[in-house]
Homo-oligomer: A and B are copies of this chain.
Amino acid sequence: RGSTMKNIRIGSVGLGRLGLRHAENVASKIPGASLHALCDLDETLLAQTADRLGVPYRYTDFDQMVQNAEIDAVVIVSPSGLHTGQIEAALKAGKHVFTEKPLGVTVEECKTAERAVEAHPDRVFMIGFMRRFDESYMYAHEKVMRGDIGKPVLFRSYSQDPESSIEGAIKYAGHSGGQFLDMAVHDIDLARWFVGSEPQNVYAIGGCYAHPEFGQYNDGDNVSCLMKFQNDAMVFLFAGRTAPHGYNVETEIIGTTGILRIASVPQKNMVEVLDSHGVRRECSDNFLDRFESSYVREIQEFVDCIREDRKPSVSVYDGTKCTEIAYRCKEAFETGQLLEF
């Protein structure tokens, strides 16, 4: 990261729960990059954030932002339904693009994004599957690639949001695409990454165990699915909104000669408390807490790819695949049938 390399000026769109964090990271934690523009519909939030982070340009219209010639790259953290449109516009304007997951909320949208990316082969395009940038997941993945656990037998992954954030989840439910697309899409990405194969069929169940509100979107507050992959690996995914203990993302990969578990206890840090409740670990509060450094690392990788003229290991096709699979899981859940891919 020599200082002679070009500094990458970034414009970021969406200043919500995650967008604010991405903006702060770009502003101060990414050597080689600077936050040059911000975009959000909410003008107060926009002004306040741009002032606080010392950002020169502010926009309420994304299309205008991408016309700013001083900007090299965009980071898209807007609502999922806007992703592909913004991807297209940004690439067309010659910008490198980092977009949050999911790539798109329909497979058609994803295909549009694919075409846009294909049309700009010299631009860096990256999708925010941040778990791939978590040091524990990275460490485990290396072991698996090295053959330490043999052939994959069972891949199990949980994404649980804390009950304490249920209100927001309910409000957001109509636009999230459902548990499989909104939450399990990360586990789907991990499954493909660790197992190195694609799903063959899926059975999905679940329900509204505590919050009937999800029912109106044909969704559940807790859902799961069992998939057989083409290489015979079994994949079991669980996504829930009612975790009593905090934000719990955990994964287990059972191989023929070894087993790995990542974050089986979602401990917030290395402190153990011994008190009247026993011996306990306090848990991560939410994705910002748990994946704090992954969000930095993924943007760093995006910036480094631009500066070093490389391509990230996650492609737009991975984004499409994950959306496709998530949709099929959703369909299996809604119909109660065993579906093929």
Residues on A facing B (Cβ under 8 Å)? 1-4, 27-29, 31-32, 34, 52-54, 135-136, 139-140, 143, 149-151, 153-154, 163, 203, 205-207, 209-210, 222, 224-226, 228, 232, 234, 236, 238, 240, 242-246, 248, 254, 256-283, 293, 337-338
Contact = CB atoms under 8 A, between A and B. Distances in A.
A224 B259 contact: no
Contact of A226 (B27, B31, B205, B337): B205
B234 A236 contact: no
B270 A245 contact: no
A262 B268 CA distance: 12
A255 B212 CA distance: 16
B277 A280 contact: yes
Contacts of A205: 226, 228, 234
A231 to B, nearest CB: 10
10 contacts: A207-B232, A222-B234, A226-B226, A245-B277, A258-B273, A259-B273, A260-B272, A262-B272, A278-B281, A338-B338
A263 B274 contact: no
Given A224-B154, A271-B139, A280-B279, A244 B258 contact: yes
B154 A222 contact: yes
A69 B258 CA distance: 53
Nearest to A160: B254
Contact of A245 (B153, B243, B269, B276): B276
Contacts of A267: 270, 278-279
A149 B274 CA distance: 9
Contacts of A203: 203, 226, 338
Contacts of A149: 275
A245 B274 contact: yes
Nearest to A138: B269
Given A240-B254, A262-B270, A280-B280, A245 B275 contact: yes
Given A228-B205, A254-B240, A259 B280 contact: no
A68 to B, nearest CB: 17
A210 B151 contact: yes
Given A205-B226, A256-B242, A278 B271 contact: no
A191 to B, nearest CB: 14
Contacts of A2: 52-54
A263 B258 contact: no
Given A151-B209, A238-B154, A275 B254 contact: no
Given A206-B234, A278-B281, A280-B281, A244 B257 contact: yes
Contacts of A269: 135-136, 139
Given A207-B232, A261-B272, A263-B270, 13 more contacts: A4-B54, A28-B31, A136-B271, A143-B273, A209-B256, A240-B254, A244-B275, A244-B276, A258-B273, A260-B271, A262-B271, A267-B278, A280-B281
